[in-house]
Amino acid sequence: MGVVASAPAKVILFGEHFVVYGEPAIVLAIDKRAYAKAEIREDKRLFLRSQNLNLAGFFDNGNFKVEEGNPKEARIKLEPLKCAVEKVLEMAKEKVGLNIEVNSTVPVAAGLGSSAAVASAVAAAVGALLNVKMSRENVFRIAFEAEKIMHGTPSGVDPAISTFGGTLLFQMDTGFKPIDVKMDIPLVIGNTGVERSTRVQVAKVRSLRDKYPQIIESMMHTAREIVLRAVEALKGGDLETLGELMTINHALLYGLGVSDESLEWLINAARKAGALGVKLTGAGGGGCMIAIANTDRLEKVLEAVQRAGGNAFIARKTDEGVRIEPS
């Protein structure tokens, strides 16, 4: 008998990059999910497969044997999931073999938090399979550990949103605060298809900050002000103000040098099609852009982004975080 768990992807509505320096960011869980199925094996080995990445292999006493895909890539991409599984096994005080199959509807390496959603789903599925009493807090911590293997020093935003769902205000020193959002937030997400490294983009901003500390400092201050205004707009159901603030936020990110041609192409198309606000989401340098629009313009914006070469879809916020799927 297997157990399937799922966890949502996310978009950063406001504050990416600035969040690294202690400024607040707003993160939203969206209705695209990653799924993980866990089953007990007869032997003591751990078998992991990612359907999306076409990667699979066995972990056995510290050794890795590839079954599908490039051995080096398979090990790097599957290692964080092994970490998540091992943390749950420690909690269960059990040594069992497991088959873990991962399947995600979330584009990979696009800044939508696919790796964290997968890690949260894996932790929840293994926990449920082994009857471990896992709080959401446990799932979050385990997914966070897995993310450290993947990204070095992640902020914790991705595992938090994929575990808890909803809309979160995040700040390095104070952690997460849920924002009570009653309104629907209709988004068009456009994927440039350009894979990018978060580390490279973060390093780019850091060197700019070292070079022009006063200038970047005032941009940080502006970014904070945008987030605080956006929290009010979200609580008040004011889509128009939200859109304007997104556009200003994007201008700041553009100024930091983290947008690129592939993103600008899609962003301009969405603006021309009547979006209320458009910006890149995540690290930039490729990846995804998001546009917010009134429901009657949503399809038009979607088509415009697709025509401009983006792989685009409509998404909405979801309040549901990690969950066990009915069998």
Structure-block tokens of residue 264: 């600008």
Apex 190 CA angle, 265 and 7, nearest 5: 155
Q: Which residues pair with 45 in a beta bridge?
A: none
How far is it, in rounded angstroms, from Cα 217 to Cα 293?
31
Where in the chain does DSSP place strands (E)?
A: 3-14, 25-40, 46-50, 55-60, 63-68, 98-104, 167-171, 175-178, 187-191, 277-281, 288-292, 311-315, 323-324
CB 8 within 8 A of CB 29: yes
- Catalytic, 173? Answer no
How far is it, in rounded angstroms, from Cα 127 to Cα 135?
10
DSSP 18: G
Only one residue has tokens 């909803």, namely 166
Helices (H), 60-212: 71-92, 114-129, 136-151, 157-164, 198-211
Single-letter amino acid code for the residue at 54 = N
Q: Which residues pair with 59 in a beta bridge?
A: 46, 64
Check 31, 43, 60, 158 and give the catalytic one.
158
Q: Which residues pair with 74 in a beta bridge?
A: none
How far is it, in rounded angstroms, from Cα 296 to Cα 293?
8
How far is it, in rounded angstroms, from Cα 220 to Cα 224?
6
**Measured over all CA atoms, what is the biggest interatomic distance in the chain, rounded to whole angstroms?**
61
CA distances from residue 54 to 73, 103, 217 in whole angstroms, order as listed: 11, 10, 43
Burial of residue 169 (CB within 10 Å: 0-12, 13-18, 19+) is buried
Structure-block tokens of residue 166: 């909803």
Structure-block tokens of residue 11: 């978009």
- List, by residue number, the catalytic residues: 158
